[in-house]
A and B are shown apart, each in its own frame.
Chain A
Amino acid sequence: MKRWLVLAALVALGCSGSTVMNHDQLESEIRQLHSLDEEMALVEEVFVTRHVPRRIARKHAAYLFQSAREHGEKLAKAQPGPGDESALTRARADAVRLEQRSVALMVQMR
């Protein structure tokens, strides 16, 4: 009985999802943040040259904001893997910066 309980506890722990973000996951998050950053630059560029209608650009910026926020929340909950402490801290700061940048983008397109 005890053996089964230990097994059940291990399965439950496995299914609960560890908050530790491994190196590959962190790298993937960093790449996605970089992609968001570049996309905001592209939106600014095409908006300045009047390639994107104002409302569409503003709504798109809102989606970018939502995406940056989701990444930020995921990173805020994550625990760093061994040796990834500073990279995670930088990624969190980047996510916050991107949230702010997307808000600025929305304001710019009003």
Chain B
Amino acid sequence: MKKILQLTLGIMTALGGFVDLGQIVFTMQAGARFGYALLWSIVLGMVAIILYMEMCGRVAAVAQQPVFAVVRTKLGKRLGLATLVGSNLLNLITCAAELGAVAIVLHLLFGVPERLALVIGALVLGALVWLLNFQWIERTFGLSGLAMIVFAVAAWKVHPDWGAAAASLVPQVPAHGGSRELLLYAYFAVGIFSAMLMEYEVHFYSSGAIEEGWTAKDLPENTIVAVSGIVLGSLLTCGLLILGAVVFLPRSIFPDLLSTTVLPVAVPLGAIAVRVALVGVLACVASAAVETAMSGGYNVCQFFGLKWHKNRPPREVPFFTGTWVAMLVVGLVLALTGIKPLTLVNFSIVFGMLIMPLTYYPILKAAGDRQIMGQHVTGKVQQMLGWVFFGIIVIAALAAFPLMILTHSGQP
């Protein structure tokens, strides 16, 4: 019974912590622009992140090696260091974007001036990370993120065309529009795929597996949590796209503001649901801000072989503590410059895709290495699927930046 409760908690936490600012904005914009047509990219991203997360969790549980320890071993010091710098730069940009989003939601909910809300938000998040242990950080943010389910309920209540939605699970090239429309379609496909695969989530998960002392015995839990949490989170993401398609597309609205993304909830569910949706968004973006800051600390310490553990007192892990605090402070300063969170998140999604092959490849290699994994080595089918997705990730990485330039970051 205790095990079932633990599993349920793990799945709910994974579900609540799955969505972040990039997913909210990109999927709703994609729905508003292309209707259901890009639902397939959510499914593609879902399979990719399940594969990646399961491998990371398995390598962490069996070999006790978190992501950046593997990156250093498999890529070598020089390329590994470049990956670390890129990855932490990405974490920093994402952290700043999510902190900016925290401030917007606090402003909407309580009327606090945005800049003050930014400082208060960062201080509160910093204090929570400082005071809580890893399990409680994960649970607090993950479980409060469950308020996002209100988006899925709203998507159900707006009566989408389920037939058209199901047909969109197979990729189709848009029938109308010229080359610009095609480029935009490709940009949003890559953007959704990348937003689903934000690597900080996986690094946080992998580090968490070691924080919680997982061993090979915990592998079934790893698979169940990774698969169930992500499938449910992806359904929620589909709900966001459906809301964009049903509420915004017929009105030719392109959601370009974070506050716009809660409007579709108001249409079928009313005022209380809008508040719940905002609380859900707040939990998601706050969770992402915390996870990116902590991932920054984890990455540095794991790469250089320094002591790290959230559950140890800060004086015992000074580099880890110093790095996550620095990430949060620099993220705050970046957000205070007034750069819009949605501009930052656009950039972070494209940049994230560029970095992805460099962290995915070492994990794929390590998980398939019998010397490291012993009997828990990746099976043949999964390994083949892993390589197929590596190919897709490389293609998306090569296409991401040119598409961003050509479409002016997806402007309609």
Instruction: Give chain A's interface residues, CB within 8 Å of chain B.
Output: 24-25, 28, 31-32, 34-35, 38-39, 41-43, 46, 50-53, 55-56, 59-60, 63-64, 67
Stretch at the interface among B168-176, B226-234, B265-273, B355-363: B265-273
Whether the pair B271, A42 counts as a contact (CB closer than 8 A) is no
Q: What is the CA–CA distance of A92 and B133 in the complex, to the nearest angstrom?
A: 54
Question: Which residues of B sit under 8 angstroms from A39, Cβ to Cβ?
Answer: 251, 253, 260, 263
Whether the pair B270, A51 counts as a contact (CB closer than 8 A) is yes
Instruction: Give chain B's interface residues, CB within 8 Å of chain A.
Output: 107-109, 111, 180, 247, 251-254, 256-257, 259-260, 262-263, 266-267, 270-271, 274-275, 278, 408, 411-412
Whether the pair B263, A52 counts as a contact (CB closer than 8 A) is yes
Question: Which residues of B sit under 8 angstroms from A31, Cβ to Cβ?
Answer: 252, 254, 412
**Shortest distance in angstroms between A33's beta carbon and chain B's nearest beta carbon?**
11
Given A55-B111, A67-B257, A38 and B271 contact (CB-CB distance below 8 Å): no
Whether the pair B278, A28 counts as a contact (CB closer than 8 A) is no
Question: Which residues of B sit under 8 angstroms from A41, Cβ to Cβ?
Answer: 251
**Shortest distance in angstroms between A83's beta carbon and chain B's nearest beta carbon?**
19
| Contact residue among A35, A42, A56, A64 (Cβ-Cβ distance under 8 Å from B412) | A35
| Contact residue among B111, B253, B259, B411 (Cβ-Cβ distance under 8 Å from A42) | B253
Question: Which residues of A sit under 8 angstroms from B252, Cβ to Cβ?
Answer: 31, 34-35, 38
Question: Which residues of A sit under 8 angstroms from B266, Cβ to Cβ?
Answer: 46, 51-52
**Shortest distance in angstroms between B177's beta carbon and chain A's nearest beta carbon?**
12
| Contact residue among A38, A42, A56, A64 (Cβ-Cβ distance under 8 Å from B274) | A56
Interface of B is mostly: helix
Whether the pair B274, A53 counts as a contact (CB closer than 8 A) is yes
| Contact residue among B111, B270, B411 (Cβ-Cβ distance under 8 Å from A59) | B111
Given A39-B260, A59-B259, A53 and B271 contact (CB-CB distance below 8 Å): yes
Question: Which residues of B sit under 8 angstroms from A42, Cβ to Cβ?
Answer: 247, 251, 253, 263
Question: Which residues of B sit under 8 angstroms from A63, Cβ to Cβ?
Answer: 257, 259
Question: Which residues of A sit under 8 angstroms from B260, Cβ to Cβ?
Answer: 39, 60
B260, B262, B274 interface centre (most CB from chain A within 10 Å): B260
Question: Which residues of B sit under 8 angstroms from A59, Cβ to Cβ?
Answer: 107-108, 111, 259
A35, A41, A60, A64 interface centre (most CB from chain B within 10 Å): A35
